[in-house]
Structure 1
Amino acid sequence: MKNILIIGGSYFAGRIFVEELLREKEYNVFVYNRGNIPLRKEGVTELVGDRNNADRIKQVIPDKQWDALVDFCAYTPDEIETVLNSLPGTLQHYIFISTTTVNQNVLDLPIKEDASKLVGPQSELGPYADYGYNKWMTECRLNKLCEEKGVLCTSLRPAIIYGEYNYAPRETYFFDLIRDHKTVILPDNELPLYSFVYVVDLAKIIIKALCNPGVFGRAFNISAPELVSYKRMIEVFEEIIGKKINTSQMSMVDINRKKIPLPFPLDNHLIYSGVGIQNLLGFEYTPFVKGMRRTYEYYLLVQKHRKRSK
């Protein structure tokens, strides 16, 4: 049995990863986080603490031979350093869940792993200005520290993630409007295009990457090959729901002026190549319509539970 330590693991992608990992029946699963959303799953040892508290890490995490550490919630270089410097026991493989937004917007599409990286915060993103740049700096610090400590490392960069447990108002933004019989506002141009990845695919890829020599010292985009526009999203939603959705088109200027919270950029593509990891692992991404169907089925279950709870 391999010892796997997960930093995070209670929310969205981390939670799905824990569930998929438990199905494998060959891992001792340990989860370290602040304990705000307990997993309470058989086969998971939950360890409560703040990842930025070095003393707590030393006290709570057991001294073991860790085959792999999967980090879902590091956002700054210091957070990586605290874990690596404080972790009891030995560590073979550190997998860091980064993001495709570490890349600059370039015209050579789809964006591949070797594209130019951000050289500073993106002020145009307002409160999220530091996100992509900090993730890139965290990747760099991870590579440097792991080399010094003799730890193998991998960075995985998912594109837009959708699926069960998603707390971000992405697909649920549309599902809520459809549920309430409201008109869905769409940009009056059919572009831009976006790359997505189904959250279960991300989890399965991480599992295939655990202690896999093919991924050591490398970074990979995690991105399905389909390119999806707002119009295509509506087509998919109509297919899985089985009815026509009321839509209305509006200019980007009016959408911004009226502060309509469409979840994806209106003025640029987000197109990434995920074939590197696909070819290496022999992995097939879930088709967008199939993954979104499962996501909608989960959404309906949540809505049903909420009605019963009232």
Structure 2
Amino acid sequence: MRSILVLGGTRFFGKRLVQRLLEDEDTQVTILTRGQTEDNFGERVIRLTADRSDAQALAAAVRGRHYDVVYDNICYSPDDAAAAARIFADTAGRYVLTSSLSVYDPSQQMLCEADFDPAHYPVTLGPKENFSYQEGKRLAEAILLNQTAFPAAAVRFPIVLGTDDYTRRLHFHIEHIMEGKPVGIPNPEALISFIRSDEAADFLYWVGFSPLTGPVNACSDGAMTIQEIISLIEAVTGVQAITPSRTEESDMSPFGITESWHMDTAKARTAGFVFLPLTGWLPELAASLHASLRDRQ
């Protein structure tokens, strides 16, 4: 029987990953969380409780256990990554870090894995509070992908969307447009990548049992401009959007990038993963969210 540990796993695509793993009869799934979010997994999972950023608590929680795959969805700092490298050095068969498109600087060109190379990135230790989100993820990759105790992959996701998105980023745009509020868009022609939450979970599952190592980009096929997303929402809501380049900070778009920020997934596609077409699911998601928000009014 395979033994899998998921750090995180009670919400969004982490929860979907656990649900996917539980479909396999030969898999024992353990989730490690702070115990603050309820789940509906019942007796199908083993639950460990610890603060991911407390190295001693993490080590104590997993002591004496071996895992074929460790999925780390909640590593945001070099200290967390370094602790994981030590703690799982002899007990993990494979390690999958959830990383981010944010390791890249925006670019007019599609971004491939080589555009940020963690192999030669200088490491500075410290807690999450000492670094920007981008720098924390860069340093986490540099530590976990350069250790040699276990094979590791870093999955670079763009913005993840879904009906279960607790950050409500697409919701934000639909609500603002429905209510006639401005949505600040610095560059309407900037291209951006996305992935759907269930697709993200499927990709993590696939990577966990694939031979891929190192950084790997993962996003739905295709990219859209911010203006195309706004136009899609206008069509769904029947309301014309107000999109100044600058407005109050609370009304600035969560997608409000100043330059294009989109990824090349050739590495994953060559290895056999088939991504969903972005233009196939994003309009459906927008329509679903609009219907849900309209019904609440």
Give TM-score, length-normalised by structure 2: 0.84
In 2, Cα distance between equivalents of 1:178 and 1:86: 48
Give the partner amino acid of 2:239: I
1:212 alignment partner, one of 210, 219, 228: 210
1:195 CA drift (Å): 1.1
Give the partner amino acid of 1:228: M
1:289 CA drift (Å): 4.2
In 1, Cα distance between equivalents of 2:264 and 2:166: 25
Q: Is residue 33 from structure 1 mapped to residue 27 from structure 2 by the alignment? A: no
1:123: which partner in 2? none
Q: Is residue 199 from structure 1 mapped to residue 184 from structure 2 by the alignment? A: no
Number of equivalent positions: 288
- What is the aligned-residue RMSD (CA, Å)? 3.0
2:225: which partner in 1? 229
Deviates more, 1:11-20 or 1:155-164: 11-20
Percentage of identical aligned residues: 17
In 2, Cα distance between equivalents of 1:232 and 1:3: 43
Residue 284 to residue 175, structure 1, CA distance change in 2 (3 Å): same
Give the partner amino acid of 1:175: I
SS of the equivalent of 1:182 reads coil
1:211 CA drift (Å): 3.0
Structure 1 unmatched runs, 5+: 121-126
8 Å contact from structure 2 (residues 30, 48) kept in 1: yes
Deviations 1:203-262 (CA, angstroms, capped at 9, x unpaired): 11111111322x03x2111122322123211333355x4x41222342x2xx24675221
Higher strand share: 1
Deviates more, 1:92-101 or 1:158-167: 158-167
1:20 CA drift (Å): 2.4
In 2, Cα distance between equivalents of 1:247 and 1:74: 37
8 Å contact from structure 1 (residues 51, 83) kept in 2: no
2:137 alignment partner, one of 135, 138, 143: 135
SS of the equivalent of 1:90 reads coil
Deviations 1:167-205 (CA, angstroms, capped at 9, x unpaired): 2241010232355x4245464864111111112111111
Give TM-score, length-normalised by structure 1: 0.81
1:292 CA drift (Å): 5.0
Give the partner amino acid of 1:44: V
1:57 CA drift (Å): 2.5
Q: Is residue 244 from structure 1 mapped to residue 243 from structure 2 by the alignment? A: no
1:12 CA drift (Å): 1.9
Give the partner amino acid of 2:164: Y
1:28 CA drift (Å): 1.1
8 Å contact from structure 1 (residues 13, 203) kept in 2: yes
1:69 CA drift (Å): 0.3
TM alignment of 1:76-115, pairs within 5 A? 76-87=77-88, 90-107=91-108, 109-115=109-115
In 2, Cα distance between equivalents of 1:29 and 1:295: 33
1:290: which partner in 2? 281
Give the partner amino acid of 2:216: F
SS of the equivalent of 2:91 reads strand
Residue 195 to residue 88, structure 1, CA distance change in 2 (3 Å): closer
Residue 57 to residue 27, structure 1, CA distance change in 2 (3 Å): same
2:9: which partner in 1? 9
1:72 CA drift (Å): 0.5
Give the partner amino acid of 1:165: D
Deviates more, 1:9-18 or 1:204-213: 9-18
SS of the equivalent of 1:96 reads strand
1:140 CA drift (Å): 0.9
In 1, Cα distance between equivalents of 2:16 and 2:270: 23
2:261: which partner in 1? 270
Structure 2 unmatched runs, 5+: 123-128
Residue 13 to residue 295, structure 1, CA distance change in 2 (3 Å): farther
Residue 23 to residue 302, structure 1, CA distance change in 2 (3 Å): farther
Residue 46 to residue 298, structure 1, CA distance change in 2 (3 Å): farther
Q: Is residue 44 from structure 1 mapped to residue 42 from structure 2 by the alignment? A: no
SS of the equivalent of 1:212 reads coil
Give the partner amino acid of 2:226: Y
1:290 CA drift (Å): 1.7
8 Å contact from structure 2 (residues 173, 183) kept in 1: no
1:52 CA drift (Å): 2.5
Residue 261 to residue 105, structure 1, CA distance change in 2 (3 Å): closer
8 Å contact from structure 2 (residues 184, 252) kept in 1: no
Give the partner amino acid of 1:232: E
SS of the equivalent of 2:204 reads helix
